[in-house]
């Protein structure tokens, strides 16, 4: 039983944003599945399958990852990858009213030099990619390995995020590297930040977004990590819930939100706060963000239920000073502005 009520159907019909979704997700094993993706149409169909599911779950806005190196290393042209995904993005807006932006990820188990080549290959398509990230095997592949790549990406105008998977060796140090050495705006997963009080304070003070994925934690860690997520929400940190790779892990955004709400005994206002966090840390122009937040607020007001308890508050001493390591890099462009400063909310006839 939840300690605070959530109306039946509330999560299902709530307007949502998703910020951690891998388009090249693999339902039957990475090698066999990825090798089947070769033409622009293949990438278009893959992305549209997600966008249709997103529309059915009331996802209004999504920032989605793709891994070009997984395809260009097989001889697939970069143009085919970005062409298919971008065309699907346009059609998702025009046909489904789902707005999306693309985040290009580098594979951290490949050399940094290859990541730099991929970054350079992306530059002719800069207007189609909002930011860059880092994913794949974290072992022996710390964020600092890609410092030069991300510095170049920042200079080219890309927004910055990085995966710091749950329960990895040196997880806390990797998150510190993301903040001090790379200067990210968001950390993907990143739940180990609460193991270091000073790091949690820093994440709070710098408004660093966290894109957690509860159901995937069942496969990669030891459960949903719902209690840890509730602690992060109470702190409060800018924590969000996402689906990661639904075909592989077995749950889309609605299922992830429902699972963590049940396990952490969240009340309805806390579920709304998770989604408000997502819109607030999204890489959107301010006018678009305000539009989505107003839609969410209206929905929450129309379906309001009181929360049965107050937030637990910060688990750490309020007087604890934020820690910045020597030689830190300032965060990238404020999350309150878009890639080009223009609104994504436009007439569908111009999509």
Helix 147-155 vs helix 112-122: angle between axes, to the nearest 10 degrees? 10
Q: Which residues contact 161 (CB under 8 A, 6 or more apart)?
A: 103, 131, 132, 133, 134, 184, 185, 186, 187, 188, 209, 211
Element (H, E) at 305: none
The values of phi and psi at residue 329, to 5°, are: -105, 135
Element (H, E) at 282: none
**Residue 95 pLDDT greater than 80, yes or no:** yes
Q: Once rounded to an integer, what is the mean pLDDT over residues 19-41?
A: 76
Q: Once rounded to an integer, what is the mean pLDDT over residues 92-98?
A: 98
Which tokens sit at 160? Answer: 């910055």
- What integer pLDDT is reported at residue 254 of this predicted model? 98
Q: Once rounded to an integer, what is the mean pLDDT over residues 262-268?
A: 95
- What integer pLDDT is reported at residue 247 of this predicted model? 84
Q: Once rounded to an integer, what is the mean pLDDT over residues 25-44?
A: 74
- Inter-residue contact 107 to 116 (CB < 8 Å): no
- 203-234 pLDDT, tens digit per residue, is 999 999 999 999 998 887 788 999 999 999 99
Q: Where are the domains of the chain?
A: 11-303
**Residue 334 pLDDT greater than 70, yes or no:** no
217: β partners: none
- What integer pLDDT is reported at residue 29 of this predicted model? 47
- What integer pLDDT is reported at residue 218 of this predicted model? 85
Q: Which residues contact 231 (CB under 8 A, 6 or more apart)?
A: 194, 312, 315
Which CATH number applies to 11-303? 3.20.20.140
* The residue to which tokens 């993706």 are assigned: 37
């Amino acid at each position: 039983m939840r300690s605070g009520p959530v109306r039946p159907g509330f999560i299902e019909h709530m307007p949502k944003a998703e910020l951690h979704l891998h388009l090249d997700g693999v339902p039957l094993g990475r090698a066999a599945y990825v090798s089947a993706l070769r033409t622009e149409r293949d990438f278009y169909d893959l992305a549209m399958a997600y966008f249709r599911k997103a529309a059915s779950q009331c996802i209004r806005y999504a920032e989605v990852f793709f891994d070009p190196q997984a395809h260009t290393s097989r001889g697939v042209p970069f143009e085919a990858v970005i062409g298919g995904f971008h065309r699907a993005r346009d059609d998702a807006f025009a046909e489904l009213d789902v707005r999306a932006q693309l985040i290009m990820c580098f594979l951290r188990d490949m050399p940094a030099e290859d990541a730099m080549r991929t970054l350079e290959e992306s530059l002719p398509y800069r207007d189609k990619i909002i930011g860059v990230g880092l994913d794949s095997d974290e072992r022996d592949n710390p964020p600092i390995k890609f410092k030069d790549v991300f510095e170049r990406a920042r200079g080219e105008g890309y927004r910055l995020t990085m995966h710091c998977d749950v329960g990895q060796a040196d997880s806390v140090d990797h998150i510190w590297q993301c903040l001090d050495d790379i200067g990210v705006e968001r950390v993907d997963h990143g739940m180990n930040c609460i193991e270091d009080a000073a790091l949690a304070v820093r994440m709070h003070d710098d408004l660093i977004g966290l894109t957690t994925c509860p159901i995937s934690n069942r496969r990669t860690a030891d459960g949903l990590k719902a209690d840890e997520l509730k602690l992060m929400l109470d702190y409060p940190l800018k924590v969000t819930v996402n689906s990661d790779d639904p075909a592989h892990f077995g749950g889309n955004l609605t299922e992830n939100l429902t699972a963590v709400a049940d396990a952490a005994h969240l009340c309805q206002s806390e579920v709304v706060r998770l989604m408000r966090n997502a819109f607030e840390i999204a890489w959107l122009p301010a006018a678009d963000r305000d539009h989505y937040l107003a839609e969410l607020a209206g929905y929450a007001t129309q379906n309001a239920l009181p929360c049965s308890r107050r937030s637990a508050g910060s688990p750490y001493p309020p007087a604890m000073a934020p820690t910045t390591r020597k030689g830190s890099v300032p965060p990238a462009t404020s999350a309150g502005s878009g890639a080009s400063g223009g609104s994504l909310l436009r007439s569908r006839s111009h999509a």
